Amino acid sequence: MKIARRTLPSEIPTSSMADVAFLLIIFFLVASFYSVTRGIQFSLPKHDEAALTAEPEAAVLIEIDANGSLTVDNKAMPLGDIRGYLAPRLQRNPTKSVILQTSLDAPYQAMTDVFDELRQVGVQNLVIPTSSELQTYGLRQLK
Amino acid sequence: MHIRRSERPLQAVIPTASMADIAFLLIIFFMVTTAYSLDRTPMELPQTREQQQTSKGAAIIAITEDGSFHFSEGEADTRPVNGIDELTSVVQGVTAANRLHQFVIKADRRVKYRVIDEVLERLRLAGAENVALLSRGEGQP
């Protein structure tokens, strides 16, 4: 007796491959949304160079006190007015130094708010002295 | 005129063979562009409008609201660090190998500036030059 041979289909089933691949795509898409990798960058002064090279008279001094209110060159000023105060000075001298001193009891957000605003205005020379630097250079330290 | 219909039936198959190729290309694209967050400490980041991409492989210093530190050299996940002095020694380990290695400070917005000031001072003394403050952009979750 002759047994009829069934012809096997000569195909690799690849239809589910696309499904698997699209699942992986969705995974990586979602994963990329959830990672926080952005922020504001700045350079710390090199250890051997004087941190406050600019004369304090020529620089704009911004102080943030413990409750987050600002004093710019010894005058109280709301955050929104900094742009109007700095813009003409930066136009005259684009490399004008700005010294940002934050009270040690101020919340971190108060400092980043001002930092952000200064970056928006386009300050290139931003100095953020730490408290021991201020001591070294004999500058006034905020309480 | 009568057109004779072809005797061969038309194949009712959508060609999906290249679909997987396209999908895998997209996967590779997303794999390469996805930067995993090495630190998953839950915290409220400060909000800023100015945002720049931090470099991949940067060392991460995470500071939570209660002032405890987590640190990662940029390869592995962050691990808890005991106080500022241990943080200083691990930071020095990184700057000794490469002074230009980027440090990312991921701090809670409610943290007192005293802590940030101390960390910046230690970073400066260790010779670090490139620092970024991690923040949340406007309208981001």
Q: With respect to residue B67, please indicate whether it lies within any of the assigned structural domains.
A: yes
Between positions 61 and 90 of A, the ones with CB within 8 A of B are: 64
What domain range includes position B81? 59-133
Mean pLDDT of B90-107: 88
Mean pLDDT of A25-41: 79
pLDDT (tens digit per residue) in B47-98: 888 888 888 788 889 999 888 899 988 888 888 888 888 988 888 988 888 8
Is A142's pLDDT higher than 80? Answer: no
Distance from CA of B3 to the nearest CA of A (A): 34
d(CA A129, CA B120): 9
Q: State whether residue A16 sits within 8 Å of chain B by CB.
A: no
Q: With respect to residue B84, please indicate whether it lies within any of the assigned structural domains.
A: yes
Is A48's pLDDT higher than 70? Answer: no
Q: Give CA separation, A105 vs A102, A137, B97, B131, in Å.
A: 8, 21, 34, 22
A50-64, A93-107, B92-106, B109-123: range with lowest mean pLDDT? A50-64
Cβ contact B116–A133 (<8 Å): no
Q: With respect to residue B24, please indicate whether it lies within any of the assigned structural domains.
A: no
- Looking up residue B112, the CATH number of its domain turns out to be 3.30.420.270
Q: Any idea which residue has 């190998």 for tokens?
A: B97
Q: With respect to residue B42, please indicate whether it lies within any of the assigned structural domains.
A: no
Cβ contact A107–B23 (<8 Å): no
d(CA B87, CA B94): 11
Count CB atoms within 10 A of the CB of residue B98: 11
**For chain B, what is the mean pLDDT?**
84
Strand order through the sheet with B130-134: B52-53, A38-43, B130-134, B103-107, B59-63, B69-72, B79-81
Q: With respect to residue B124, please indicate whether it lies within any of the assigned structural domains.
A: yes
Report the pLDDT value the prediction gives residue A52, as an integer from 0 to 100.
Answer: 52
Is A140's pLDDT higher than 80? Answer: no
Q: State whether residue A28 sits within 8 Å of chain B by CB.
A: yes
Distance from CA of A111 to the nearest CA of B (A): 8
d(CA A137, CA B120): 17
List the beta bridge partners of residue A100: A62
| CATH of span A60-136 | 3.30.420.270
Domain ranges of chain A: 60-136
**For chain A, what is the mean pLDDT?**
80
- From start to end of chain A, where are the E strands? 38-43, 60-64, 70-72, 75-77, 97-102, 125-127
Cβ contact A120–B114 (<8 Å): no
Is B135's pLDDT higher than 70? Answer: yes
Structural domains of chain B, count: 1
Per the rule left: phi > 0, alpha: psi between -120 and 50, beta: everything else, A63 is beta
Position B126 confidence tier, pLDDT thresholds 50, 70, 90: confident
Is A14's pLDDT higher than 80? Answer: no
Report the pLDDT value the prediction gives residue B141, as an integer from 0 to 100.
Answer: 52
Cβ contact B34–A47 (<8 Å): no
- Interface confidence, given as ipTM, is 0.72
Contacts of B48 in chain A (CB under 8 A): 39-40, 112-113, 115-116, 119
Report the pLDDT value the prediction gives residue A75, as an integer from 0 to 100.
Answer: 86
Give the count of alpha carbons within 13 A of A125, CB side only. 19
Report whether B112 contacts A131 (CB < 8 A).
Answer: no
Report the pLDDT value the prediction gives residue B32, as an integer from 0 to 100.
Answer: 79
Is A73's pLDDT higher than 70? Answer: yes
d(CA B107, CA B125): 20
Position B138 confidence tier, pLDDT thresholds 50, 70, 90: confident
Contacts of B18 in chain A (CB under 8 A): none
- DSSP, residue by residue, B62-105: EE-TTS-EEEE-SSS--EEE-HHHHHHHHHHHHHHH-TT--EEE
